A and B are shown apart, each in its own frame.
Chain A
Amino acid sequence: MDNAAEKKLALTHFWVAFGAFGLAAVMGLYQVIERSGFFGFLESREVYYASVSTHGVLMGFVLTTFFIMGFGYYVANTTLRLPVWNKTFAWTGFGVALTGVVLAALPLLLGQASVLFTFYPPLMAHPIFYIGATLLVVGSWFWCVSMIVMYMQWKKANPGQPVPLAMFATTANAILWLWTSAGVAVEVLFQLIPWALGWIDTIDAGLARTLFAWTLHPIVYFWLIPTYTAFYTLVPKQAGGFVFSDEMARAAFILLVVFSLPIGFHHLYMDPEQAHGWKILHAVGTFVVTLPTFITGFTVIASLEIAGRLNGGKGLFGWIAALPWNNPMVLAIILGLLMLIFGGFGGLVNASYAMNAMVHNTAWISGHFHLIFGGTTIIMYFGIAYYFWPILAGKPLFCPSMAIAQLWSWFIGMVIMTTPWHILGLLGQPRRIDSVNYNNLLTISWEPYEVTMIFGGLILVVSAGMLIYNLYKTHLGSESYQGEVEYAEPIHAVKDLPGYLNSFTLWNIVIGVFMLIAFGYPILQFFLMETFGSGRWGV
């Protein structure tokens, strides 16, 4: 299959993603040092909040979106054995998204958009920031269209056949992202941009928060689905085994898409503008969405066990030792699952309607987010990068042992950074403070944890450097490498799939109904009651 054009497309997206990652990692180290207060000459709240805002946008929006797009294009191309549909269209999407990033970066780096990546109106950023963010999302919609078109092309050519699992998951993600981004798109287009440009005078912060909550939960599943796709369809092959169940994987992806959408109010548990009943409804949905993760944990670990036993592992746990720990993708999943266990436990605390009050907006939340996103999700992005780079660049990985050391150091750094962060939250430290100024004895108990976090940050930034260096040297290498992505086969071949496991039509209707129930009245109420908007506030 001649897919040089697809390789270039995917690799270009990946370089933007990991370029943003490298820059944001350095900012992360600056932040953890600045906030500790031990280095007076570094202290500047203006620089700190500009850095926090940029770090969040680069990690949360740029790394993820570009990685997901590049990964999706290549998965579609290699699983369906179809050329990427309308490459001009795909490159246009890339161009729109990149233009958005550059536009948003200008006010961010100049300190004109220090409103954090969650916007927080009535704090107002420079209008260019909102316009840039919008273009990034619009660019990603081009990708969604490409994925759905290719999925339809394949289904038309192969009626009744099961869509290859990796593409099924990628299409699920494209559909998820279209639903997900609608909330923030409405907020930005009808509230933030007209308000920042002076066309309207006030903004209803309660409505803005409700619309952002529409997006805020499923967006993390948009980031997570490539990781789960690798868990199911790439890792078992790399480990030397098979997927335990293709059908359960499909069910898990469908559950993720359907139930990650109508549950965003767990970000508003502590908010005054939504009533108890809606919050409880979303709380119940939040626990339903743990099901696909429970299922994934089981199926993926069962797949690894099959691999371990095929490799000669014996006994109850012997198969774990028999896994190829020196394969970056296998190591990434082992470390990723370990972080998922701890991060998932923290998530259950956050999701609990009452316990959340103890940790809400404290340092615990930042720690949780870094562990589950920076840890579980991103470490698998690294695993995918190490596997895809030689294939896309046509050159062997510069240094495989450095890749292994990098994954271990990322894991260790993340544990050293996020454990104290969680403890600081339990000790009452608010999140996102640039310095400690409270005249209270409680703050003395925070100091050892602030120090420990710096070591975590140092290890993480060295690890990030090792990743970028390895990928860069691979790209520049002189040897040639010929290889193609190999997908894991299920133990039991998939045949006669029921339509609901091979199509999204039914599920889109279900999502539409769920969203109407979960968000219909909570949004409508702002138009039924007398509300008072807020003017524009600087930072």
Chain B
Amino acid sequence: MEVQEPKRRIPLVGTVEGVLTVFKHVLMKPVTVQYPEEKEYVPERFRFRIFLNLDDCVGCTLCEQVCPNKSIKMETVKRNNPRNKRMIYPDVNFGTCTVCRNCQEICPTDAIYLTHVFETSRTKNSFLYSPEELAMPEEEVKK
């Protein structure tokens, strides 16, 4: 299909039309969201913060293996869990996590999963979440 070039028209008329089109947008509502004051619409299936269910984790290290940029490391936690004899649980460094969701997809017991919590900003320098912190809600971790 051959695309058609615009027809030759009287000079300036189209230009003025363009200027008017731009001018019309003054009356439209701005699309900016003033973030901290008003919350942006976050789609239901938006995913960011990784949570860990300590009781379900079997310490299989699959999430550590699949993590593409080694954000997940296994860590020993003294905890009584009959399914996790080696007592190793994943910790996540959110400084390097790219939210690829591979850990959630590969987890055989669905112990590690992502939620739509995304407000993890803080003044702390490290974004390393220990397994216990991963199990806590975000508000408690910030304390």
Determine if chain A interacts with chain B. Answer: no
Query: Which residues of B line the A interface, CB within 8 A?
Result: none
